[in-house]
Amino acid sequence: MNFSLTSEQLEYKNKVSDFASANFGGSYVKQDKDCLFSRADWEKCADFGLQGLATTKAYGGSTDDVSILTATLAMEGFGYGCRDNGLPFGLSAQMWTVQYPILTFGTEDQKKKYLPKLASGQWIGCHALTEPSSGSDVFSMETSAKKVEGGYLLNGTKRYITFGPVSDVILVFVKTNPKLGKWGMSVFIVEKGMKGFTAGPNRPKMGLRTVPFGDLFFEDCFVPEENLLGPIGAGWAITNSSLEHDRCTILAGQLGAMEHQLEETIAFVKQREQFGKKISQFQSVSNRVANMKLRLETSRLLLYKVAWLNSVGKSSMMESALLKLHLSENFVESSLDTIRNHGGDGYISENEIERNLRDAVGGVIYAGTSDIQRNIIAKLLGL
Amino acid sequence: MKDILLKYINEQFQADDPIEAQDDLLGEGILDSLGMMKLILFIETEFELKVPPQDMTIENFMSIDDMATYISNRK
């Protein structure tokens, strides 16, 4: 067993971290308070080549071969340097649930049309899967597509879609054969401005407030035949194809944030004095820091294992569920411990300590809740 | 090949009645998402082939007959 990184991998991770720190290492109090998404930040990331990690050079990407290991390390570095957890979350969402499915399932024309614009930051894309009545039971969706001459008519509503309010291109999951349930789903590429499509406003949320979430409405929205992504009925395969890439990189961003959080906490408890001594000398404080370190390292082990399994083409069903459950819950716990160790300072928004907790809570809900991960683990254990 | 698939599916997905080669595993809800992923892993291991995401379609996985045809074509 060898979990060591090559010098090139480490160098790239550090380069991304330095880039993030230099460009996104400042205060996000205002953007967080006002739920502001920065298109300029998005374009900076694209210029650096981050969105391009999910697209090959032939279609405007920054890599010859899309690598989950490289992308995971890059996002870990990014999460460490960037003080806005929303930005790495949004990057991963577009890269793996929009670009990668188009790269994997798209026709040559679709790849040429959409990928260069997405990789360059010119366009933003979203993955429209969840609906008002289908959250964890996502495949019970109601949005439908009816075949008409030259294309399809889409009808339905998508809910809580990351980047929904600002997207230029949307992968819409619809039922094309209701009798087959989840196996009768297909995906269409809808563009902003298509007749019958409207995007709702940003819906402010507890955390990750710099990334717009919103609802999408399709009312007899005509989509030409050539906008079908993959064959009819490929919806399940499409959403499944990038699940582990998405999971690894989103969680890698959180892992980077956890490492930064730990370092800041150590620095704080070593200088803060109460009752005539440094608070790091109180075991109730230092034990919390020790727990944070344990959560960080066990999360990292699972993350690297899943990324490695995927990079060598091995299945990681169990490990992936364990990772999602473990890391996302750990980020919540460590964010709480950080607030406890900072006392009153940790509770005040302008100090930018409590934001991690609000951002972390989303992680136990999106991309498969913690409850769903436990169900998967139990089922894989034969229960 | 069909016998191997039949044995695996009958052992893993205990339906009320024994599953036949032509049964619709997807429309009848015998296979859920996790079951499909486990089945694909089984096929990849047992028949030494890689099932790319593009091949994970109803045409290839609706029934054991369809799977056998797919595997034969890939061999």
Contacts of B41 in chain A (CB under 8 A): 315, 317
What does the pLDDT read at residue A158? Answer: 96
Whether residue A193 has pLDDT greater than 70: yes
> For residue range A70-101, what is the model confidence (pLDDT) as tens digits?
999 999 999 999 999 999 999 999 999 999 99
Domain edges within chain A: 7-124, 126-233, 239-380
Domain edges within chain B: 2-15+22-74
Residue-by-residue pLDDT tens, chain B, 75 positions: 888 999 998 888 776 778 888 888 887 778 888 888 889 999 999 999 989 888 888 889 889 999 999 999 987
> For residue range A14-69, what is the model confidence (pLDDT) as tens digits?
999 999 999 999 999 999 999 999 999 999 999 999 999 999 999 999 989 898 99
Residue indicated by tokens 């969840």: A130
Q: Rounded to an integer, what distance in angstroms lies between the CA atom of residue B58 and that of residue A108?
A: 23
> For residue range A271-322, what is the model confidence (pLDDT) as tens digits?
999 999 999 999 999 999 999 999 999 999 999 999 999 888 888 889 999 9
What does the pLDDT read at residue B24? Answer: 86
Q: Six-digit token pair at A114?
A: 């959409």
How many Å lie between the alpha carbon of B61 and the closest alpha carbon of chain A? 10
**Closest listed residue to residue A278, CA positions, set A261, A290, A293, A266:** A266
Whether pTM > 0.80 for this model: the answer is: yes
What does the pLDDT read at residue A140? Answer: 79
**Closest listed residue to residue A332, CA positions, set A285, A373, A292, A371:** A292
Q: Do B53 and A313 touch (CB under 8 A)?
A: no
Distance of alpha carbon A332 from the chain centroid: 16
Whether residue A1 has pLDDT greater than 70: no
How many Å lie between the alpha carbon of A105 and the closest alpha carbon of chain B? 6
What does the pLDDT read at residue B15? Answer: 67
What does the pLDDT read at residue A154? Answer: 98
Residues 144-183 (A) with a CB less than 8 A from some CB of B: 179-183
Q: Residue A190: beta bridge partners?
A: A170
What does the pLDDT read at residue B1? Answer: 84
Length of chain A: 383
Q: Rounded to an integer, what distance in angstroms lies between the CA atom of residue A103 and that of residue A99?
A: 6
For domain A126-233, give the fold: Butyryl-CoA Dehydrogenase, subunit A; domain 2 (2.40.110)
Q: Rounded to an integer, what distance in angstroms lies between the CA atom of residue A178 and that of residue A107?
A: 25
Instruction: Name, in order, each residue with C-beta under 8 angstroms of A94's C-beta and a sequence gap of 6 or more.
Output: A51, A118, A124, A125, A126, A163
Contacts of B33 in chain A (CB under 8 A): 139, 182, 236, 240
> For residue range A128-184, what is the model confidence (pLDDT) as tens digits?
999 988 877 777 789 999 999 999 999 999 999 999 999 999 999 999 988 887 788
What does the pLDDT read at residue A183? Answer: 83
Instruction: Name, in order, each residue with C-beta under 8 angstroms of A342's C-beta and a sequence gap of 6 or more.
Output: A265, A268, A351, A353
Residues 13-72 (B) with a CB less than 8 A from some CB of A: 26-27, 29, 32-34, 36-38, 41, 44, 50, 53-59, 61-62
> For residue range A106-137, what is the model confidence (pLDDT) as tens digits?
999 999 999 999 999 999 999 999 998 887 77
Q: Which of B29, B33, B54 sits opposite A236 (nearest CB)?
A: B33
Write down the CATH superfamily of domain A239-380: Butyryl-CoA Dehydrogenase, subunit A, domain 3 (1.20.140.10)
For the structural domain made of A7-124, what CATH number should be given?
A: 1.10.540.10
Q: Write down the ipTM of this complex.
A: 0.81
Q: Six-digit token pair at A174?
A: 């619809």
What does the pLDDT read at residue B26? Answer: 81
Q: Six-digit token pair at B68?
A: 């056998």
Mean pLDDT across chain A, nearest whole number?
94
Q: Do B56 and A240 touch (CB under 8 A)?
A: yes
A23 contacts A46 by C-beta, under 8 angstroms = no
How many Å lie between the alpha carbon of A315 and the closest alpha carbon of chain B? 7
Q: Do A241 and B27 touch (CB under 8 A)?
A: no
Please, which pLDDT band fits residue A244 given cuts at 50, 70 and 90? confident
For domain B2-15+22-74, give the fold: 1.10.1200
> For residue range A357-381, what is the model confidence (pLDDT) as tens digits?
999 999 999 989 999 999 999 999 9
Phi and psi of A137, rounded to 5°? -85, 60
Contacts of B26 in chain A (CB under 8 A): 180-181, 183
3-state secondary structure chain A: CCCCCCHHHHHHHHHHHHHHHHHHCCCCHHHHHHCCCCHHHHHHHHHHCCHHHHCEHHHCCCECCCCHHHHHHHHHHHHHHCCCCHHHHHHHHHHHHHHHHHHHHCCHHHHHHHHHHHHCCCCCEEEECCECCECCCHHHCCCEEEEECCEEEEEEEEEEEECHHHCCEEEEEEECCHHHHHHHEEEEEEECCCCCEEECCCCCCCCCCCCCEEEEEEEEEEEEHHHEECCCCCHHHHHHHCHHHHHHHHHHHHHHHHHHHHHHHHHHHHHCEECCEEHHHCHHHHHHHHHHHHHHHHHHHHHHHHHHHHHCCCCCHHHHHHHHHHHHHHHHHHHHHHHHHHCHHHHCHHHCCCHHHHHHHHHCCCCCCHHHHHHHHHHHCCC
What does the pLDDT read at residue A245? Answer: 85
Q: Do A184 and B33 touch (CB under 8 A)?
A: no
Instruction: Name, in order, each residue with C-beta under 8 angstroms of B6's C-beta and a sequence gap of 6 or more.
Output: B19, B20, B21, B64
What does the pLDDT read at residue A247? Answer: 84
Q: Which of A183, A240, A241 sits opposite B26 (nearest CB)?
A: A183
